[in-house]
Structure 1
Amino acid sequence: MRFIAHFSLFCAGRLLQTKMNIAILASGSGSNAENIARHFSNNKEVRIALIITNKKDAYVLERARTLNIASLIFPKEEWITGERIMEALIDHHIDFVVLAGFLLRIPDVLLHKYPNKIINIHPSLLPKFGGKGMYGDRVHQAVVAAQEKETGITIHYVNEYYDEGEVIEQITCPVLSTDTPEQVAEKVHALEYAHFPRVIEKILFNH
């Protein structure tokens, strides 16, 4: 595992405000989003302030309602320039952005506004099985088809290319010759739930 932090000034600045506000971006069910939100629910320094999705029927919206977290929907065409999304992040005083199952490219305007403050989780050991169109079950099917001996998760900074940002941390799990894609998915999901909130906390507090 390796960890790279770019937050010395950011962490110093957090002392000037009550809480750091995080926005979570998700396109689907949002189980990782909920797991992160619950992890930080009693944290005195971090608040999940906003959940954003690109799909009006994404179940993450229901999770946001249950958790009493503000949510917004921006359809695919809004992500071409990203101007309205940036306005929303500014309006909600967002300090840090987490992608948790978000499937669209992050527009340049957001990358420039939040340099090294946008992270993503990918369900494989990048650079293997990454890139546009490689998400969810497609990744696990590819891992099994390639007869990989191990897989895992990659948490990385987001840049202008799909799944090519600087790696923060990778955690592995074995792939047995008898494993189905569904069984691989279960192992990977367990890693996501156990480690994604922990890594977010490491980045925010630089420890």
Structure 2
Amino acid sequence: MNIAIFVSGNGSNCENIIRYFEADPDIRIALVLSNKPDAYALTRARRLHVPTAVMPKPQFGEKDKLLSLLADYEIDFIVLAGFLLYIPDFLVKAFDHRMINLHPALLPKFGGKGMYGHHVHEAVKAAGERETGMTVHWVNEQMDGGDIIAQYRTPLSPDDDVATIARKEHDLEIRYFPLTIRKVIEKL
């Protein structure tokens, strides 16, 4: 099973996933794709000898170009790990139930347009939530609207600031995202 990881930023989850599967005989991280040429995730992937590609936003919407790139790497499955572009319908259809996303909150709360990164954690804090967590879901045509595959939770204290909320949630991502990817792929 050849996986492509789509990223836009730092890539700590990307590196964690690559390391988790690096000795796996059945699952291979075949490509890390970013919409940003300066995404640190690309550096992390190259250091771990994983091929990388950059496809800026205008090109990402070009069906033939994107699907051709994925075919070149024989991609079977896509993992969105901090990828900030809207996924075009043609890609959703081509990878129906073969593309998952990580969202840094307990969907359906704090999802949708503008809800990414620190914006999510700020909204969680502002709402006075007693817990936060991460959601892994199938990607469909609706932003953060695909069926939920798994959720992991962590308690919050009223004293937790946005940085603490972000750290608690990120700890869940590092611990559970690779395990969830494995479970999903094993069921395919």
TM-score scaled by length of structure 1: 0.89
Partner of 2:124: 143
Secondary structure in 2 aligned to 1:151?
strand
Specify which of 17, 30, 39 is matched with residue 11 of structure 2. 30
Deviation at 1:206, TM superposition (A): 2.1
Deviation at 1:129, TM superposition (A): 0.6
Moved over 3 A (4+): none
The whole-number CA distance in structure 1 between the counterparts of 2:90 and 2:72 is: 16
Deviation at 1:80, TM superposition (A): 2.5
Partner of 1:128: 109
Mapped pair 1:43 → 2:17: no
The whole-number CA distance in structure 1 between the counterparts of 2:7 and 2:64 is: 18
Partner of 2:87: 106
Secondary structure in 2 aligned to 1:48?
strand
**Structure 1 gap segments, 5+ residues each:** 1-19
1:177-196 matches, within 5 Å, as 177-196=158-177
8 A contact 1:144–1:180 mirrored in 2: yes
The whole-number CA distance in structure 2 between the counterparts of 1:45 and 1:77 is: 34
Q: Letter of the aligned partner of 1:196 in structure 2?
A: F
Deviation at 1:196, TM superposition (A): 0.4
Deviation at 1:83, TM superposition (A): 2.8
1:72-121 alpha-carbon deviations (Å, 9 max, x no partner) = 00011112334311111111000000000001111111111111000000
Partner of 1:9: none
Specify which of 164, 178, 184 is matched with residue 197 of structure 1. 178
Secondary structure in 2 aligned to 1:50?
strand
8 A contact 1:81–1:107 mirrored in 2: no
Secondary structure in 2 aligned to 1:142?
helix
Mapped pair 1:61 → 2:27: no
Give the length in aligned residue pairs: 188
The whole-number CA distance in structure 2 between the counterparts of 1:158 and 1:71 is: 22
Partner of 1:3: none
The whole-number CA distance in structure 1 between the counterparts of 2:181 and 2:24 is: 13
Mapped pair 1:160 → 2:141: yes
Between 1 and 2, higher relative CO (CA 8 Å, sep ≥ 6) is seen in: 1
1:125-166 alpha-carbon deviations (Å, 9 max, x no partner) = 001111111111111011001100111000000011110011
Q: Determine what percentage of the aligned residue pairs are the same residue.
A: 49
The whole-number CA distance in structure 1 between the counterparts of 2:167 and 2:185 is: 28
Q: Letter of the aligned partner of 1:36 in structure 2?
A: I
User: In angstroms, what is the RMSD of aligned CA positions?
Assistant: 1.1
TM-score scaled by length of structure 2: 0.97
